[in-house]
Amino acid sequence: MSRIPAIANPQRKPYPSDLSDLEWEILKPLLPKPKGFGHPIEVDLREIINGVFYVQRTGCQWEMMPHDLPPYTTVYRYCQKWQRRGIWEQMHAQVRQKLRTQLERDQDSSVAIADSQSVKTTEKRALSMASMVEKRLKGVSAI
C-alpha cells in the first residue's frame, strides 16, 4: 500500500517513505543543532532522514539509494553518527513520551508483552535439559 506524504513544496517527486510536513515539524526540533563553528552544514537534514527511511523501508543497500536523494555516503555517515551519539534513541523516546502525554497515559509504559510461543519453547528446553542432566547423574552414580 502506497502512502505519499503531504509535502507543501516538494523539491522532487516524493517517495512513500518520505516525511510529511507534519512529521518533519515534530522531528525538526529534536535534531542536533549546529555547533556554531567548523564547517557549516550544507545538506538538508530532512533529506538525510528521508534517505535513511528509504533504505529502512525498502531494504535496499546504501549504494542503491535513488540519485535524487543526497549521496549515500552522506546519508550513511549521518545515520551512523546519530546512532553512535544516541540521537535516534533520544528522538524515539521524546516522540513516544509526547504521544503518551497526548493520549493521557503514563509517560513510562508499565506493561511488558511476552510471546507465548517463545515462552513454551523455553520451558520445553529447560525440561529437556533437566532430564538430560538427571540421566547423566544416574549414569555417574551407577559407576
Question: Which of 68-77, 99-108, 114-123 is most confident?
Answer: 68-77
- pTM above the 0.75 mark? no
**What is the per-residue pLDDT across 10-55, written as a single tens digit (0 to 9) for each?**
788 899 999 999 999 999 999 988 888 888 888 999 999 999 999 9
Residue with cell 513520551: 97
Which one has a higher pLDDT value, 122 or 138?
Answer: 138
What b/e readout covers 2-15, taking b as 16+ CB neighbours within 10 angstroms? Answer: eeebeeeeeeeeeb
